[in-house]
Structure 1
Amino acid sequence: MPVKVIPERVRWAVETMGIRPTDRILEIGCGRGSAVSLICERLDGGRVTAIDRSITMIKIAEERNEANVAAGKVVFQAAALDAANLDGERFDKVFAINVNLFWVRSSKTELDRVRRLLTPGGAMYLFYEPPDSSRAAAIADRIAPFLNEHGFTTTVSMATTSRSMALVCLKAEARPSVRR
């Protein structure tokens, strides 16, 4: 069986979120499921729901995480965030890695949905590894005000990979006083 390499940005994202064993987590745009693999290693009683618009990516992620699916640690769903069947679910952490949804267009509807899906004290984490490191700050400068305008308190952190690529994390916590 071939070794499944997990990109440095994914390892940093999982570390940055500080996964607890009982966390309930939603990943938006799970791709091949590499973050899910790392997260499931840390779960004991928690669960990941991973969505992606691509049926092909969901199939690859399910195969990669076959044991985690069987153990009930992860559920995969082929759907965009606005169409995902998440009724009644609440999450401690919602995250996305290199998903452009929150910075290339107005995503007010999706942000409102994330707010409703978060548990009190929960947070959304948006991670980016731009192809040009000089764009990292620009991404944060564009997304943070939008998140703040829509009822989130946003903290930005950055790191650099071993290949000198910039990594950006926007941690957005819903302000309890905002009702949308």
Structure 2
Amino acid sequence: MPAVPRRLSWAVDTLDVAPGDRLLEIGCGPGVAVSLVCDRLTTGTITAVDRSATAVARARARNAAHVASGRATVVQASLEEIRFDGERFDKVFAVNVNLFWTRDPAAELALIAGLLAPGGTLWLFYEPPGADRAAVLAGDLTRVLSSHGFAPTAMRGGGTLVCVRASIG
């Protein structure tokens, strides 16, 4: 199996997944983070969403045992299309998902705010191409999240890794 990209191992370490956490990953790609998260869960679950049929097929194959155990669910849909039927999440996260800074994410952030359990947090992780860009991105994300009712905190993971953690303000 190929090496886990540093941004994904750092993201999952930073999330500090508790055994009973309920997580939602937006833009799961081939499911590498899903696998890393599931290794830390006992009673918790992760729901992973991606728009790409190819990515979802790869994520389901990579995590077949976790899906079979009920610990992981992988759904092909855009975030705004999926119906959660009242489900709430302790942690919602995304890695290198651009919608949060390339346009106004008002609709998505309102949806996420409604999906967070009391005390839940949103985690946005990025690995931009340079340290200068990382600093700008952290500032941009902090402003966007603040303007939509979140209380964000930016952190760096060395090199160009950026995380903005936010709770409902």
How far has the Cα of 1:76 moved from its partner? 0.6
How far has the Cα of 1:4 moved from its partner? 3.5
- Counterpart code for 2:75: Q
How far has the Cα of 1:99 moved from its partner? 0.3
How far has the Cα of 1:86 moved from its partner? 1.6
Residue 103 of structure 1 corresponds to 101
Structure 1 unaligned runs (5+)? 176-180
| Bigger Cα displacement from structure 2, 41-50 vs 132-141 | 132-141
What is the aligned-residue RMSD (CA, Å)? 0.8
Q: Helix, strand or coil: the match of 2:14? A: helix
Asked if residue 142 in structure 1 is aligned to residue 133 in structure 2, the reply is: no
Question: How many Å separate the matches in 2 of 1:171 and 1:34?
Answer: 21
Deviations 1:42-65 (A, max 9, x none): 001100000001011000000000
| Bigger Cα displacement from structure 2, 90-99 vs 77-86 | 77-86
Q: Within 5 A, what are the aligned runs for 1:1-180?
A: 3-160=1-158, 165-175=159-169
TM-score between both structures, scaled by the size of structure 1: 0.92
Q: Helix, strand or coil: the match of 1:82? A: coil
Q: Identity, % of aligned pairs?
A: 49
How far has the Cα of 1:5 moved from its partner? 2.1
Deviations 1:103-130 (A, max 9, x none): 0000100000000000010000000000
Moved segments of 4+, more than 6 Å: none
- Counterpart code for 1:49: T
Question: How many Å separate the matches in 2 of 1:4 and 1:50?
Answer: 21
How far has the Cα of 1:131 moved from its partner? 1.8
Question: How many Å separate the matches in 1 of 2:55 and 2:83?
Answer: 18
- Counterpart code for 2:22: R
- Counterpart code for 2:121: A
How far has the Cα of 1:85 moved from its partner? 2.1
Structure 2 unaligned runs (5+)? none
How far has the Cα of 1:159 moved from its partner? 1.5
Residue 178 of structure 1 corresponds to none
